[in-house]
Amino acid sequence: MPNIALLWDFDGTLTPSDSTSKTFEIVSGNSRADEFWSYVKGLRGDQGEDRPEWEHILASDAPIWMYALSRVAHRKGIPLNDEFFEKFVVPEIALFPGAIDFLKKVKSFEDREDFKELDIHIHHFIVSAGLKELIEQIFPVGLITWTFGCRYTVIVTDEEDKSAPESVPVFCIDETMKTRPIFEISKGAFCNKDVKVNTRVSKEDLWVPFENMIYIGDGPTDIPSLSLTRSQGGMGVVVYNPSSSKEKVESRVKEMRLDARADLITPADFSQDSELFDFLYQRCIQIKQRYDATRPRNN
Strand partners, 214: 6, 235
Give the whole-angstrom CA distance, residue 247 versus residue 261.
20
Kindly report, residue by residue over 107-138, the tens digit of the pLDDT. 999 999 999 999 999 999 999 999 999 999 99
Do the strands 144-155 and 166-171 form a parallel or antiparallel pair, or are they unpaired?
antiparallel
Q: Which of 47-56, 96-105, 156-165, 259-268 is least confident?
A: 47-56
Q: Percent of the chain scored above 90 by pLDDT?
A: 70
CATH homologous superfamily of 3-294: HAD superfamily/HAD-like (3.40.50.1000)
**Closest Cα partner for 207 from 194, 190, 193?**
190
* Phi, psi (deg, nearest 5) at residue 5: -120, 125
Q: Parse the chain into domains and list their residue ranges.
A: 3-294
Query: Is residue 182 a contact partner of residue 197, using CB atoms and an 8 Å limit?
Result: no
Could you tell me the pTM of the whole model? 0.92
- Helix H or strand E segment including 122: strand 121-131
* Phi, psi (deg, nearest 5) at residue 145: -65, -40
Strand partners, 171: 151
pLDDT, position 86: 96
**End-to-end Cα separation, the chain, in angstroms:** 23
- In terms of C-beta density within 10 A (0-12 exposed, 13-18 middle, 19 or more buried), how is residue 287 classed? buried
Query: Is residue 68 a contact partner of residue 174, using CB atoms and an 8 Å limit?
Result: no
Q: Write the DSSP symbol of residue 89.
A: I
Query: Is residue 19 a contact partner of residue 10, using CB atoms and an 8 Å limit?
Result: yes
Kindly report, residue by residue over 61-94, the tens digit of the pLDDT. 899 999 999 999 999 999 999 999 999 999 999 9
